[in-house]
Amino acid sequence: MPPTQKRAAISPTLVAFGRRLRRYREAAGLSQERAGRRANEGQGVTGQYVCQVEQGKTRCTREFAETMDRELGANGELVELWDDLVMDAAFPTWFDWPPVEAAANELVSFHLSVVHGLLQTPAYASTLLYGAKDAVAARMSRQEVLTREEPQPPIFSLLLDESVLYRDVGGPEVMYEQLEYLVSKTSERLRVQIVPARGHLGASGSFTIATLEDRTEVAYVESAARGLTLGDPEDLATMSRTLLEVRSLALPQDQSLDLIRRTAEERWT
């Protein structure tokens, strides 16, 4: 059974800002939903997003802080706190990824060795997780982010290294089912593209970039020891450059789906 991952620590600076925001909101007599409707110069955010900020689970923009400061009558304090506490705050190494994933408006991922967890079948996941039933159930539960009705599921773009199609995970039956499942899940909001197996910047490992409601970006990088959640601008810039290169090499979606179907039939039957 794989080791249980340590629960994430939340950035104390983000928590401190969130607590102050909550005090001002409650003093103004506004719910999270009503406060959210006033955010970002009237463009609005969801109550769920306001909740994430208040709990220190996301790093809001200065524009959000400025609008909330004005709407909640904070007289500049929220803007000052943003400059002091949030501007340079990065998501800590052990920050939980699932809440970020669930709050994202858009997910873009490159996976080098296996199918992304949000698109794994139970049998495929069970092989990777050595049959650990609780871990498999948790992974399947995460996939609800793509099928939920409220809020709308994120737009998901998966770039999959071609080698994943040929790597035996669980045998022919499991692989055939997994590749057919990939094809069946594609839609206007869920794209799968295959990246030919060759040298490129993404060859160093898998990663996902989440774009939140206020356009803040958070990244998740996978390693053998654990996943790392990153919010540092330099890290994000590096992954953005990597993503541009990987995307430039990817096959169009129709060609990608043809390759997945053909591989399922020719290699796994």
76 and 110: one domain? no
Q: Which of 1-10, 53-62, 134-143 has the highest average model confidence (pLDDT)?
A: 134-143
Residue 247 lies in a domain: yes
Q: What is the mean pLDDT of residues 7-34?
A: 83
Asked whether residue 109 is assigned to any structural domain, the reply reads yes
Which of 52, 86, 120 finishes a domain?
Answer: 86
pLDDT at 69 > cutoff 80: yes
Confidence of residue 135 (pLDDT cuts 50, 70, 90): confident
Instruction: Give the predicted TM-score (pTM) of the model.
Output: 0.69
Calpha distance 89→164 (Å, rounded): 36
Determine, yes or no, domain membership for 4: no
Element (H, E) at 237: helix 233-249
Structure tokens at 132: 């650990």
What is the pLDDT confidence band of residue 2, given thresholds at 50, 70 and 90?
Answer: very low
Q: What is the pLDDT of residue 224?
A: 65
Contact residues for 108 (Cβ-Cβ < 8 A; gap 6+): 156, 157, 159, 208, 209, 211, 243
Q: Is residue 3 part of a domain?
A: no
Mean pLDDT on 89-97: 58
Q: Are residues 101 and 19 in the same domain?
A: no
Name the range with the highest mean pLDDT among 85-89, 94-98, 154-158, 232-236: 154-158
Predicted local distance difference test score (pLDDT) of residue 181: 98
pLDDT in tens, 105-119: 999 999 999 999 999
Q: Domain range for residue 22?
A: 12-86
Q: Which of 55, 86, 117 represents a domain boundary (last residue)? A: 86
Pairing of strands 217-222, 207-211: antiparallel
We report the CATH number of the domain holding residue 230 as: 3.30.870
Same domain? For 116 and 228 the reply is yes
Question: How many Å apart are CA 141 and CA 146, to the nearest integer?
Answer: 10
The mean pLDDT of 45-69, rounded to a whole number, is: 86
- Whether 136 and 238 map to the same domain: the answer is yes
Tally the domains of the chain: 2
The domain boundary residue, chosen from 86, 121, 145 = 86
Mean pLDDT of all residues belonging to the chain: 87
Give pLDDT, residue 200.
Answer: 78
pLDDT, tens digit, for every residue of 172-206? 999 999 999 999 999 999 999 999 987 777 788 89
Whether 7 is covered by a domain: the verdict is: no
Whether 86 and 139 have beta carbons less than 8 Å apart is answered as no
Helix/strand number for the chain, H first, E second? 11, 6
Domain-embedded: residue 211 = yes
